[in-house]
Amino acid sequence: MTDAYVAVEGDRIIEARARAPGETRGELVFTTAYTGYEESLTDPSYEEQILTFSYPLIGNYGVREERFESDRVQPNGVVARELTDDVAEWLESEGVPAVDHLDTRDIVTEIRDEGAMKCGIAAGPDATEEAALEQLHQCKHMSEHRDIGAQVSVAEHTVYNEDGDGVSVALVDCGAKGSIIDSLVERDAVVHVLPYDASEADVAAVDPDLLFISNGPGDPENFEAAGEVVDTYVGELPIAGICLGQQVVASALGGETEKMEFGHRGVNQPVRDLRTDQVVMTTQNHGYTVAEPGENLEVTQVNVNDDTPEGLENDDLEIITRQYHPEANPGPHDSLGFFDDVLDLAEN
């Protein structure tokens, strides 16, 4: 039964089955993850995107809220070979259009060959090809979402583990996953979560031992305030960053970032440490990368597949960043020691 249409660049139409009705648009990307669909669907880094699952069956172990990374589904739309009723009903309750019964292998291959692309979806009993095409033609490039941080960040200063005895962390929330906060709190850190556009004065007001820039969606150049905070506190406080946070830190210290052809999204990304030659498996979700780290940062880890920077450090300035997600749920957990290393910097 065809009651959904997916329109991609070039005005190509793909027929599908509606699993959650509605019309939507966004950048079409894919993830190679075969577990962790609840975590992926609630990851703020997927804001303004349409997420395609390369694994054929999504939803085979249900939906449990304790696995969520945020308080809502973040992608604008979902594409899969087959969605279970549990996931379809969850997406419908969240108002997120979803389709299945289409060849996701073909979509993944096209994204891999042509790069992430604009997409429009129309799903439901009244869906038409024309409606999907209209959504496609209204879609923006990710770099055009200038204030995307406002869609995923806390609105005001929020404190976690206020009575903790550990390091005081100023976490600039550019779209932080909940497991980042959990990983810090588990180590008894007091975590002050600040809005994505926090100022130097906002950071100074919490008197932190550590500045931490979170992950988030889209182009790092659209997070100017976070970069200004890094520039202000470099050399004054230890600084850490994850994913978009690495890109923001690199830009603030004179590096350059660029959009990747189709990004890294999945739970099986191999990363090699240049100091130890050890390879670990990592979870990743990003469409931008550090092209040039600049003179102040050393590349300490690289992606085995394409040599893009996965870790940046400066021992003298006490900076450690990672492009991947050390806190990944459901895994892998090869690199959880990152949080111990970061908090050790602040304690010392």
The pLDDT tens digits for 289-301 are 999 999 999 999 9
The pLDDT tens digits for 74-105 are 999 999 999 999 999 999 999 999 999 999 99
Q: Are residues 207 and 233 located together in one domain of the fold? A: yes
Number of domains in the chain: 2
Q: Which residues pair with 171 in a beta bridge?
A: 193, 212
The pLDDT tens digits for 203-240 are 999 999 999 999 999 999 999 999 999 999 999 999 99
| 168 annotated as a binding-site residue | no
The pLDDT tens digits for 145-154 are 999 999 999 9
Q: Supply the pTM of this predicted model.
A: 0.96
Phi (first) and psi of residue 343, to 5 degrees: -70, -30
- Contact (CB, 8 A) for 285 and 307: no
Nearest to 45 by CA among 180, 215, 251: 215
The CA-atom distances, in angstroms, between 23 and each of 107, 163, 208, 336 are: 19, 45, 44, 39
Q: Are residues 12 and 119 located together in one domain of the fold? A: yes
Q: What is the pLDDT of residue 347?
A: 86
Q: Are residues 135 and 9 located together in one domain of the fold? A: yes
Q: Which residues pair with 159 in a beta bridge?
A: 192
- Contact (CB, 8 A) for 85 and 29: no
Q: Are residues 239 and 280 located together in one domain of the fold? A: yes
Q: Are residues 343 and 196 located together in one domain of the fold? A: yes
Q: Which amino acid is at 185?
A: V
Q: What angle do CA 106, 21, 37 make, to 5 degrees?
A: 55
| 278 annotated as a binding-site residue | no
Catalytic, 157? Answer no
Residue 194 structural domain: 149-347
| 285 annotated as a binding-site residue | yes
Reply yes or no on whether the pLDDT at 1 is more than 90.
no
Q: What angle do CA 56, 18, 130 make, to 5 degrees?
A: 120
| 216 annotated as a binding-site residue | yes
Catalytic, 325? Answer yes
- Contact (CB, 8 A) for 297 and 246: no
Give the active site residue among 145, 264, 286, 325: 325
Give the active site residue among 119, 139, 174, 243: 243
Q: Are residues 243 and 175 located together in one domain of the fold? A: yes
Give the active site residue among 23, 27, 82, 327: 327
Q: Are residues 176 and 228 located together in one domain of the fold? A: yes
Model confidence band, residue 44 (pLDDT cutoffs 50, 70, 90): very high
Distance between CA atoms of residues 28 and 312, nearest Å: 29
CATH at 136: 3.50.30.20
Q: Where a domain ends, among 82, 112, 140?
A: 140
Q: What is the pLDDT of residue 335?
A: 85
| 287 annotated as a binding-site residue | yes
